[in-house]
């Protein structure tokens, strides 16, 4: 099928590199007719994001966006909405925690580290949704999606403070779904299985964990990043018009297993 999101206007926040889940969703949206805007966090990441943007169709807007900077969020969301002529889709793919708060004992997580992980990885969804809401209401509705992980529900050694942030993120998804639903705005999360992305390298023992999980999935395999991109496309499309407040697992069925 082609043109599933023809004419839609999408902002993808958090593209890091060509192997990232956010980039896979951006490519899927672009391939099916959406106009896509991308963000970069700082000068260090700008060049890579602009290089990726050049691979998309039709003059992709690229704006700076630090989710801890309210003034910049205001300016950047407005700039994207102006450049695209509105906003129909928001993809939240932002997460950060200090390395020391991902390793060691859970009781050693610092107060500052906990607050930082929650602010960047969870509260930022509220902040972005607040700014996207007027544009989506003006368009008659929209789709907001965030990226989660099974550690939101289960203890995954080495995920520590990020697991708490993802749990909060999924709760935020449900509350936003209720809050924004009267405007036709749907809010969902995608919980992907282990993917060998750059971000995953920061998780101690990730490769061994991915191997073990693949052996225990009903499909007996790892997932690939484009499978998550296709799920993002589905959530943005009219095919998911009655789906909101959900966490969709894209993990080859691992979440359904008791082992």
Q: pLDDT tens digit string along 161-171?
A: 999 999 999 99
Q: pLDDT tens digit string along 77-113?
A: 999 999 999 999 999 999 999 999 998 899 999 999 9
Q: Considering the domain boundaries, does residue 1 fall inside one?
A: no
Q: What is the pLDDT of residue 211?
A: 77
Q: Considering the domain boundaries, does residue 208 fall inside one?
A: yes
Q: What is the pLDDT of residue 129?
A: 98
**pLDDT at 72 > cutoff 80:** yes
Where are the extended beta strands (E) located within 110-232?
142-148, 185-192
Please give the residue range of the domain that contains residue 144: 9-256
Task: Domain count for the chain, please give it.
Answer: 1
Q: What is the pLDDT of residue 73?
A: 98
Give the residues across from 90 on adjacent strands: 11, 144
> CA 142, CA 180: separation in Å to the nearest integer?
10
Q: Are 204 and 212 in contact (CB under 8 A)?
A: no
Q: Considering the domain boundaries, does residue 4 fall inside one?
A: no
Residue 90: enclosing H or E segment and its boundaries?
A: strand 89-92
> CA 94, CA 12: separation in Å to the nearest integer?
10
Here the tokens at position 71 are 């003034």
If you average pLDDT over every residue of the chain, what do you get? 93
Compute the residue count for the chain.
Answer: 259
Indicate the pTM of the whole model.
0.94
CATH of the domain at 61: 3.40.50.720
Q: Considering the domain boundaries, does residue 201 fall inside one?
A: yes
Q: What is the pLDDT of residue 57?
A: 92
Q: What is the pLDDT of residue 206?
A: 66
Helix or strand or coil: residue 34?
Answer: coil
Q: Considering the domain boundaries, does residue 107 fall inside one?
A: yes
Indicate which residues carry an active-site annotation.
149, 159
- Predicted confidence band of residue 199 (pLDDT cuts 50, 70, 90): low
Q: Considering the domain boundaries, does residue 94 fall inside one?
A: yes
Q: Considering the domain boundaries, does residue 2 fall inside one?
A: no
Q: pLDDT tens digit string along 119-152?
A: 999 999 999 999 999 999 999 999 999 999 999 9
Q: Considering the domain boundaries, does residue 126 fall inside one?
A: yes
Q: pLDDT tens digit string along 201-222?
A: 656 666 777 778 888 899 989 9
**pLDDT at 58 > cutoff 60:** yes
Q: What is the pLDDT of residue 147?
A: 98
Here the tokens at position 89 are 């889709």
> CA 142, CA 163: separation in Å to the nearest integer?
28
């Amino acid at each position: 099928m082609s043109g599933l999101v023809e004419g839609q206007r999408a902002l993808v926040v958090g593209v890091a590199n060509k192997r990232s889940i956010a980039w896979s969703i951006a490519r899927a949206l672009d391939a099916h007719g959406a106009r896509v805007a991308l963000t970069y966090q700082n000068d260090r990441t700008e060049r890579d994001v602009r290089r990726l943007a050049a691979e998309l169709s039709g003059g992709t807007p690229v704006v700076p966006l630090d989710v801890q900077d309210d003034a910049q969020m205001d300016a950047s969301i407005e700039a994207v909405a102006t450049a695209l002529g509105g906003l129909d889709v928001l993809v939240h793919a932002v997460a950060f925690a200090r390395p020391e708060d991902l390793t060691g004992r859970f009781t050693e997580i610092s107060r500052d580290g906990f607050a930082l992980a929650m602010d960047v990885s969870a509260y930022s969804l509220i902040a972005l949704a607040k700014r996207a809401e007027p544009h989506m209401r003006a368009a008659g509705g929209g789709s907001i999606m965030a990226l989660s992980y099974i550690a939101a529900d289960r203890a995954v050694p080495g995920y520590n403070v990020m697991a708490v942030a993802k749990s909060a993120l999924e709760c935020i998804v449900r509350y936003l779904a209720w809050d924004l639903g009267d405007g036709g705005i749907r809010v969902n999360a995608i919980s992907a299985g282990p993917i060998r992305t750059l971000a995953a390298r920061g998780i101690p023992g990730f490769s061994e964990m991915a191997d073990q999980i693949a052996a225990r999935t009903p499909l007996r395999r790892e997932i690939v990043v484009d499978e998550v991109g296709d799920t993002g496309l589905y959530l943005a499309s009219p095919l998911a018009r009655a789906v909101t407040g959900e966490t969709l697992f894209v993990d080859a069925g691992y979440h359904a297993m008791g082992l």
